[in-house]
């Protein structure tokens, strides 16, 4: 064992060997490998000498321990002061080309975009055309043409976001028309009917705006999709069949549709659309609040006054329309309890969706 006792010359020799290997390194990874061979916690030069202490005779433990400590400090000092590792380091804001490639995180569509795309695809397959229109609208297209007179509650400032100075109407009076952020996409239907003659079969998706507070189920800006079918002999049976096909495509192949009487100024008769709960098959659960039914939107046969506003012959043509909220469909489809989650852009939430 006395022949193995280290000396100061041994320290110098090992440090010189370390510097030689370090100088021969051609990359940051190679330099780190050299450092680990001498200073690593396991199977390194220094760790091997440290392990020899416990097995050495008592009179040699002190010498071996001193040698191992001196060697460790000397190599650490050379590593810290050596100029070679800096040669491989990436410049500030740069890229170290010696590092392995990192797979970039792939983004995917937002859940509301997924739902809107699926809605459009569903109705496109049924022969509908997707149309869009301006979000900044005038009150004739948004209200008057939809059989909503000036005293109608929907025109109250508490519900509608009015914009700039009124613009001139056909009579030339400046106060004829007011600009606003549309409260529904029904204004798109009016513009389309003004430019096209029946038969018409369109869906109008888009963002709408109302004076709502942001809470669990409401937001001042949200997505809506509305449908309009106009032609000869269109009936409530056509409306129900269309909605049933939509519901079975979007939610469940066994879902049922129910109409509840309601009132909308632009449809007569009007109804609320209920779908049978696809989770409990109508038996009653937490999702449907023990009723077996889930409200999804509103619908009805187009009011003759709307046809008259756009120049259609109300004696010749009939039609149906319905509207639902895109967020409403997303909430039901994905069982999300707070609508605000769709807008907070929290990746922990968004990454849960399938694509």
Determine the Cα–Cα distance for residues 210 and 252; give it in Å rounded to an integer: 31
Give the full edge-to-edge strand order of the sheet including 257-264.
129-130, 200-209, 221-231, 318-325, 293-302, 267-276, 257-264
What is the pairing mode between strands 200-209 and 179-181? unpaired
pLDDT score for 195: 95
- Say if residues 150 and 166 touch (Cβ distance below 8 Å): no
Number of H helices, E strands in the chain: 12, 10
Determine the Cα–Cα distance for residues 179 and 15; give it in Å rounded to an integer: 81
pLDDT score for 143: 93
DSSP H/E element including 130: strand 129-130
pLDDT score for 84: 46
pLDDT score for 144: 92
pLDDT score for 2: 44
pLDDT per residue as tens digits for the range 215-229: 877 888 999 999 999
77-94: b (≥16 Cβ within 10 Å) or e: ebbeebebbeebeeeeee
- What is the pTM assigned to this prediction? 0.66
Give percent of the chain above pLDDT 70.
Answer: 88
Signed CA dihedral, 167, 170, 174, 179: sign only: negative
pLDDT per residue as tens digits for the range 257-271: 999 999 999 999 999
Dig out the tokens for 9 from the structure: 């010359």
Q: Distance of CA 235 to CAs 95, 228, 239, Å?
A: 66, 12, 7
Closest C-alpha among 139, 123, 141, 142 to residue 131:
123
Dig out the tokens for 21 from the structure: 């290997």
For 99, phi and psi rounded to 5 degrees?
A: -75, 150
Q: Angle 236-250/111-125 helices, nearest 10 degrees?
A: 130
pLDDT score for 335: 85
Q: Name the stretches of the chain with pLDDT < 70.
A: 1-9, 82-96, 157-158, 164-176, 355
214-246: b (≥16 Cβ within 10 Å) or e: eeeeebeebbbbbbbbbeeebeeebbbebbeeb
Q: What is the chain's mean pLDDT, rounded?
A: 85
């Amino acid at each position: 064992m006395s022949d193995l006792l280290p000396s100061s010359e041994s320290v110098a020799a090992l440090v010189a060997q370390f510097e030689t290997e370090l100088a021969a390194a051609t990359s940051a990874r190679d330099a780190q490998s050299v450092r680990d061979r001498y200073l690593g916690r396991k199977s390194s030069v220094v760790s091997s000498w440290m392990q020899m202490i416990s097995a050495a005779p008592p009179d040699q433990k002190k010498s071996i321990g001193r040698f191992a400590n001196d060697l460790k400090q000397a190599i650490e000092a050379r590593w810290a002061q050596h100029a070679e590792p800096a040669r491989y380091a990436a410049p500030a804001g740069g890229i170290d080309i010696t590092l392995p490639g990192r797979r970039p995180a792939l983004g995917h569509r937002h859940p509301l975009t997924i739902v809107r795309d699926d809605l459009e695809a569903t109705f496109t397959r049924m022969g509908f055309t997707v149309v869009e229109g301006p979000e900044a609208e005038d009150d004739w297209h948004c209200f008057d043409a939809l059989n909503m007179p000036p005293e109608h509650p929907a025109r109250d400032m508490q519900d509608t976001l009015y914009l700039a100075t009124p613009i001139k109407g056909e009579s030339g009076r400046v106060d004829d028309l007011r600009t606003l952020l549309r409260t529904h996409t029904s204004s798109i239907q009016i513009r389309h009917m003004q430019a096209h003659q029946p038969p018409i079969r369109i869906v109008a998706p888009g963002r709408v705006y109302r004076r709502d507070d942001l809470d669990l189920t409401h937001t001042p800006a949200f997505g809506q999709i509305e449908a309009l079918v106009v032609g000869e002999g269109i009936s409530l049976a056509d409306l129900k069949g269309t909605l049933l096909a939509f519901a079975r495509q979007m939610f469940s192949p066994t879902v049922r549709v129910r109409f509840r009487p309601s009132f909308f100024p632009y449809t007569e008769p009007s109804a609320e659309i209920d779908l049978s709960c696809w989770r409990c098959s109508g038996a009653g659960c937490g999702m449907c609040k023990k009723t077996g039914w889930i409200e999804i939107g509103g619908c009805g046969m187009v009011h003759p006054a709307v046809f008259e506003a756009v120049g259609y012959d109300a004696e010749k043509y009939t039609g149906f329309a319905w509207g639902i909220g895109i967020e409403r469909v997303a909430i039901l489809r994905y069982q999300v309890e707070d609508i605000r989650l769709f807008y907070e852009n929290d990746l922990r939430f968004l990454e849960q969706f399938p694509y």
